[in-house]
A and B are shown apart, each in its own frame.
Chain A
């Protein structure tokens, strides 16, 4: 047995020495850059306008010369021929076998074409994730996800299948029906957004009288779509609610599944550096950040995605390199704390920079509070106001004053802001299946 073959999907790449890994990245970057330049009129125009030819990239340091692609550029050129992908498409339209689109959280959805080759690549990237998280052939994986135009757990489904797991598609079922099916089939693992994982556990307890750690067989959960599984307080809540290990992974429709937590759970995610080039840059100066511990914006390249390549995509995700290697033996570097937020999410309230994940960490660390909360920022005259709506768990009724005191102190400590806190009846705040929208900045809508 090859060393690490029991813990790594592909130790040839995952445990490759760093020097060879960087050589591999350069070679693969050069290959995808040339492919995009030769096949996509959009990329060719972008590069020619910058005076760049593919041969100009000779070292990894040269990569920064390649112009970045913004989501807004992708929106502008789509819905034209070859319809609906426009000039980003690098293959004949008839080679496209998969359509997906982004959720449109930040504007008009972006359409994404994939070929069979791309789809194999998607499931391969997920195979790296799931194997690293301990999924094996014996697992029966339940996927409580509305299979549709969003890529989300589609690729997780096919990745699990590739590992040899038995996959149960829990598509158009109610939450109650999904839980009962998981119980009946003794499903051992599942995938979902952190929000929905908490919501499901709550429904199991309150509506079905099922205690997930005792009455169900779920022992590992892979989360995506929100930063929650990398927020310690949220991760702990999901782990306790299910009696399962919770793992984070990160991906995006226009990028691919690029990072994953391993079984060592080192407080960060491995970047799949054999499949992706992750660069971090200072959002204000645009300078590259190589040192650990300094937060910046991720610019990412997917080396092997062919139909609609992702070359130096400006993801707007905020990340930082960890300063330590993971004990698991992977050479793939770690990003500390997962995706820390998005450039667009970091907002100034009352003159203070605020990351919504900091509020989540506080709310979820107070055991008396239920999982849901809502933050609303408004402006009255020149004054910003920030309201926080929370719910007490049924067993904590009557403790409002005590909890309020702790909440105020912790919020002040972690975010340096004062909030107008209101308590709402348990179960009255919105529950989400997909990506939650708990942070509402109404100032941007003129509210």
Chain B
């Protein structure tokens, strides 16, 4: 993204917004597990999303919580 001066913007992304989105993903994945009625094709794929979203948590949410 370019600033009016043509300089590169030095700021990073808004971590608060990112963290909220990560929480939403996790909430939805947990709900998928709960509502899966034991169907493994739903439960295990939702668990896999949680394994990935944990990395987003490490990359985004941990530094925000300092």
Which A positions have Cβ atoms within 8 angstroms of B?
1-3, 10-13, 16, 20, 23-24, 27-28, 115-117, 119-121, 124, 274-275, 304
> B47-66 interface mask toward A, CB cutoff 8 Å, 1 = contact, 0 = none?
11011101100111011011
Q: In the bound complex, how far is the Cα of B63 from the Cα of A12, in angstroms? A: 8
Who on chain A is nearest to B66 by CB?
A23
17 sampled A-B residue pairs with Cβ under 8 A:
A1-B1, A2-B11, A2-B13, A3-B9, A3-B10, A10-B59, A12-B12, A13-B59, A23-B66, A24-B62, A27-B62, A116-B51, A117-B51, A120-B51, A120-B55, A121-B54, A275-B58
B15 at the interface (CB under 8 A from A): yes
The CA of A28 and the CA of B50, in the complex, are separated in Å by: 19
Contact of B52 among A13, A120, A274 (CB under 8 A): A120
Contacts of B60 in A (CB 8 A): 12
Which residues of chain B in 2-19 are interfacial with respect to chain A, using CB atoms and an 8 Å cutoff?
A: 8-13, 15
Chain B residues with CB under 8 Å of A124's CB are 55, 58-59
- Report the tally of A-B residue pairs with Cβ distances under 8 A: 54
| Cross-chain contact B66 with A20 (CB below 8 angstroms) | yes
Chain B: interface residue count, which band? Answer: 20 to 34
The majority secondary structure among interface residues of chain B is: helix
Q: Distance in Å from the Cβ of B56 to the closest Cβ of chain A? A: 10
Q: Which of A3, A120, A275 contacts B12 (CB 8 A)?
A: A3
Which of B's residues lie within 8 Å of A, judged by CB? 1, 8-13, 15, 47-48, 50-52, 54-55, 58-60, 62-63, 65-66
A11 and B12 form a contact (CB under 8 A)? yes
- Residues on B with C-beta less than 8 A from A275 are 58
A40 to B59 CA separation, bound complex (whole angstroms): 26
Residues of chain A lying within 8 A (CB to CB) of residue B59:
10, 12-13, 124
On chain A, the residues within 8 Å of B54 by CB distance are 117, 120-121
Report the bound CA distance from A24 to B61 in whole Å: 11
- Complex contacts, A117 vs chain B, CB 8 Å: 50-51, 54
| Nearest-CB residue, chain A, relative to B11 | A2
- In-complex Cβ contact of A27 among B12, B51, B65 (8 A): B65
Q: Which residue of A lies closest to B59 (CB)?
A: A10
A12 to chain B: which residues have CB within 8 Å? Answer: 12-13, 15, 59-60, 63
How far, in whole Å, are A11 and B12 apart by their CA atoms in the complex? 8
B66 pairs with A24, CB closer than 8 A: yes
Given contacts A20-B63, A23-B66, 14 further A-B contacts (CB under 8 A): A1-B1, A1-B9, A2-B11, A10-B59, A12-B13, A12-B63, A24-B62, A24-B63, A24-B66, A27-B62, A116-B47, A116-B48, A116-B51, A274-B58
Given contacts A2-B12, A2-B13, A116-B47, contact A13 B63 (CB under 8 A): yes
In the complex, residue of chain B having the shortest beta-carbon distance to the beta carbon of A4: B12
Q: How far is the CA of A119 from the CA of B47 in the complex (A)?
A: 13
- In order of increasing CB-CB distance, the 7 nearest A-B pairs are A116-B51, A2-B12, A117-B51, A120-B51, A3-B10, A124-B55, A23-B66
Nearest CB on A from B11, distance (A) = 7
Task: Determine the chain A residues whose CB is within 8 A of the CB of B52 once the complex forms.
Answer: 120
> Which A residues are in CB contact (< 8 Å) with B63?
12-13, 16, 20, 24
Interface centre among A11, A27, A117 (most CB of B within 10 A): A117
Residues on A with beta carbons closer than 8 Å to the beta carbon of B15: 12
Please measure, in the bound complex, the distance between the C-alpha atom of A12 and the C-alpha atom of B1, giving whole angstroms: 17
B58 near A304 (CB under 8 angstroms)?
Answer: yes
Q: Which of A3, A24, A121 contacts B8 (CB 8 A)?
A: A3
